Structure 1
Amino acid sequence: MGDRNQRVGPIAGLGALLREFGIQPRAFGEEFGVDLDRLTPDAREPFGLMLRMLREAAARTGCPHLGLLLGSRYRPTEHGPIHRLMATAPTLRDALLDFVHWQFGYSTAATVYLDRIGDDFAFGYGAYERTAPATPLLYEMCAAIGVTMIHELTGGAVSPVEIHFAHRPAADLAPYQRILRAPVRFNQNQTCLVLRAAALEAPLPGFDPVARARLIQAMAAHGFASLSAAARLRRIVRPQILRDDPSMAGAARVLRVHPRTLRRQLAAEGVSFEQVRDEVRFMLARELLQLTDLPIGDISNALAFATHAAFVRAFRRWSGAPPTVWRAAARLTASPPPSANAARPPEAA
């Protein structure tokens, strides 16, 4: 999945940002076979390549919050057809569900979801691939995009009440406070914007049912929504796990098919529900083990295992080592964080 071409989106702004740090984007891009001066949001590049560029850019600029900067500069209109559809929605909930439903037309390497988190809702983002050490940069970029998206859709009427990150806190929290404009919590089991349930019912000023129907028809006609059964399952199983419902019945309910139908569709593609679920669980386990300080028991609970021992047995089967040993080894081999001492442009200080 990570080698498939994905929509570049906010990475298109990397060249301009590098130039502000005194780094020539042409030379930087040539190292990755990408012309940053010609890159547009609609261009397609491999997901892994974009993450390597993001990580290297953060290291060379010495800016640990480079993802936040990129995300804050990305305008919702650059989402193209998805943004135009969201702007015609009757409420914020409908607009965010538009994004959840159609986002995979841009990227099959990550998922966006809207799900309950206590009495509130999580508008979350999670990668399918193991992207560390670039994951924090990616997640922070997406959080900044989400904040701007919600603010502009509602004319500033709605803001997240909290923002959660599934990684450790940064040394300097000032950029998070300035760019995200909401309380930030680190070492969480998911990366998401937390929204009050009532806020989701906020009416949008651009509601247009006629334009909305036309846009949906056009997007469907161009194959925007074509996915295999395994790909559709992979998109929804991560929030299902976090909701403590990693079951075939629960997944089938979300996908609006009978469990037997889903199992038959998956079998025709050569996979099983259990294989896809364990693939996502393993990815999420490694992400939380490597990037957070969450206790092993909390990670086991986040992955919806019945017992701590069951998680340890499963992780040993997947990786060949118990989670404590894997975490220690991962931290020893992790790349050092970008230096915070390099020169920065005024808005990054």
Structure 2
Amino acid sequence: MATLQRNPATGNEPKARAAALTHYIQVALRHGLPAHDLMRQFGLDPAMLVNREQRISFTAVCRLLEASASESGCLSFGIQMARARTAFDFGVIGLLLAHKRTLREVLLAMLKYRHLLNDALGLYVETTGSKVVIGEQIPHDTGEWPRQTVELAIAVLMRTCVAILGPNWRPISVHFTHSAPPDLRDHRSYFECPVKFASDFNGLICLDSDLDLPNPLADPELVRYAEGLAKSVGLEGSPTIDAEVRNAIYLLLPVAQADIEHVANQLHTSVRSLQRHLGNADTTFSNLIEEVRHDLAIRYMSKERYSIGRVAELLGYTTHASFTQWFTRRFGMAPKSWRNAHCK
């Protein structure tokens, strides 16, 4: 079950902390790239790296990393950036996370304060029997698939887990939805566990019991102090209600829980209050779930490795017939016909 730019960034454009580019310049220079010029090419001022909390365009970050990997010929560029980072490199939130009692509490805090970390990434946790999936999703279309950003995010996620569970801990496996690069040495040496590509999700699998192992560095007083700081920081720059609902829908669709009751619970509010806030934002829950399904349908149907049945599941439909009916009404043709016309 799920538990869940241009500089400066504006409006509802997904944003990340400037700290997302920690060690970018060092890795780029190591590969002989003109790091500063590349950043400016994508609307990112190198001077903003001094203020690690500054909000910058997530799309610009994705495009910068893809261009850097392409120009350097290094398809593990994101992994190399993660390798150079330290655990809990998240500013105020890092202090809070480092002293939580368990990894489960860390993940819940990352969900709660995601707008202070990176509001373009959706963290989710799914438990099946004795195993758990800790995954990251991107609820926004960035154009080209942001392979390097995804690998950086999962590598940083694993580093966070290792910091809580100890240096000898490793997940059962790590998964990416994109294809494998020709050279896997960096991936294997960093993760030190099976790394599976062309998977159905981006994230890692571990034992559910791992989430409740005690953190030897747990300190409730430091956590309370950090929560006070996070609350004051969080008063500015919180995502809009419609962006929050879109993210929640994106995360809950694959587990068939993207109804208004579950979304309200995910956002720690009542259905009535959620409806009122969405009304104030000139939208409705039905409109948002239609928008998310439409965007995801195009994304998944454009990738032939996803069967139509699997696409139906990822969009929250329990039967193939109900998905086909919705898809035909929305796109004017059956899923198979649409794929034949668009995936030649």
Normalising by the residue count of structure 2, what TM-score does the alignment of the two structures yield?
A: 0.85
> Which residue matches 1:18?
28
| Distance across 1 between alignment mates of 2:48 and 2:269 | 43
Q: Is the 8 A contact 2:43 2:60 kept in 1?
A: no
2:338 and 2:287 mapped to 1: Cα distance?
21
Deviations 1:214-243, CA, capped at 9 Å, x for gaps: 111221123258444323322322221122
Q: Name 1:129's counterpart in structure 2.
A: 140
In the TM superposition, what is the alpha-carbon distance from 1:22 to its structure 2 partner? 1.3
Looking at structure 2, the residues matched to 38 and 251 of structure 1 have their Cα atoms a distance apart, in angstroms, of 35
1:12 partner letter = T
The runs of 5 or more residues in structure 2 that have no matched partner are 1-10
* TM-score, length of structure 1 as denominator length: 0.84
Pick which of 178-187 and 113-122 moved more.
113-122
Secondary structure in 2 matching 1:63? coil
Q: Find the counterpart in structure 2 of residue 110 from structure 1.
A: 121
Classify 1:292/1:207 alpha carbon distance in 2 versus 1 (closer, same or farther; 3 Å): farther
Mapped partners of 1:163, 1:120: distance in 2: 13
Deviation at 1:313, TM superposition (A): 4.5
Distance 1:331 1:63, change over 3 A: farther
Identify which of 293, 300, 315 aligns with 1:288. Answer: 300
Identify the match of residue 155 of structure 1 among 159, 162, 166.
166
State the partner residue of 1:241: 253
| Contact preservation (8 Å) 2:302, 2:342 | yes
> What does 1:144-223 correspond to in 2, within 5 Å?
144-156=155-167, 158-223=169-234
- Partner of 2:7 in structure 1? none
1:233·1:251 contact (CA, 8 Å) conserved in 2?
Answer: yes
The reply to whether residue 279 of structure 1 matches residue 310 of structure 2 is: no
Counterpart of 1:75? 86
Residue from 231, 253, 260 that aligns with 2:265: 253
Paired AA for residue 180 in structure 2: P
Residues 31-63 of structure 1 deviation map (CA, whole Å, 9 limit, x = unaligned):
234344762443332111111111111110112
CA distance in 1, matches of 2:124, 2:210: 16
- The match for 1:231 is 243
Matched position secondary structure for 2:113: helix
Contact 1:166/1:288 (<8 A) preserved = no
For the structure 1 residues 3 and 322, does the alpha-carbon distance in structure 2 shift closer, same or farther, using more than 3 Å as the test? farther
Partner of 1:336: none
Q: Which runs of 5+ in 1 are unaligned?
A: 333-349
Q: Give, in angstroms, the shift of residue 85 of structure 1.
A: 0.3
Pick closer, same or farther for the CA change 1:302–1:43 going to 2, 3 Å: same
RMSD of aligned residue pairs (Cα, Å): 2.7
SS across alignment from 1:171? coil
| Range with bigger deviation, 281-290 or 232-241 | 281-290
Counterparts of 1:80-99 in structure 2, within 5 Å, are: 80-99=91-110
Q: 2:312 aligned to 287, 295, 300, which one?
A: 300
Quote the residue 2:281 is aligned against: 269
Pick one of 8, 16, 22 that aligns with 1:6. 16
Q: Residues 274, 94 of structure 1: CA spacing in aligned structure 2 closer, same or farther, 3 A cutoff? A: same
> Where do residues 39-78 of structure 1 align in structure 2 (5 Å cutoff)?
39-40=49-50, 41-78=52-89
**1:290 deviation in Å?**
4.2
SS of equivalent residue, structure 1 residue 84? helix
Residues 89-122 of structure 1: CA deviation (Å, up to 9, x unaligned): 1111111211121121233322222232454222
Deviations 1:142-199 (A, max 9, x none): 1111111111222225322122222233333333222222222233332122221100
Aligned to 2:44: 34
Structure 2 Cα separation of the partners of residues 55 and 32 of structure 1? 11
Aligned 8 A contact 2:264 2:270 in 1: yes
Quote the offset at 1:10 in angstroms. 3.1
Kindly indicate whether the alpha-carbon contact (under 8 Å) linking 2:12 and 2:239 is maintained by their aligned counterparts in 1. no
1:315 offset after TM fit, Å?
Answer: 4.1
Aligned length: 332
Identity %: 23
- Aligned residue for 2:8? none
> What amino acid is the match of 1:253?
N
CA distance in 2, matches of 1:126, 1:4: 13
List per-residue Cα deviations over 1:200-259 (Å, max 9, x = no partner): 011111111111111112211232584443233223222211222221222223334332
Residues 169 and 186, structure 1, Cα contact 8 Å, conserved in 2:
yes
Could you say what secondary structure the match of 1:195 adopts? strand
Bigger RCO (CA 8 Å, 6+ sep): 1
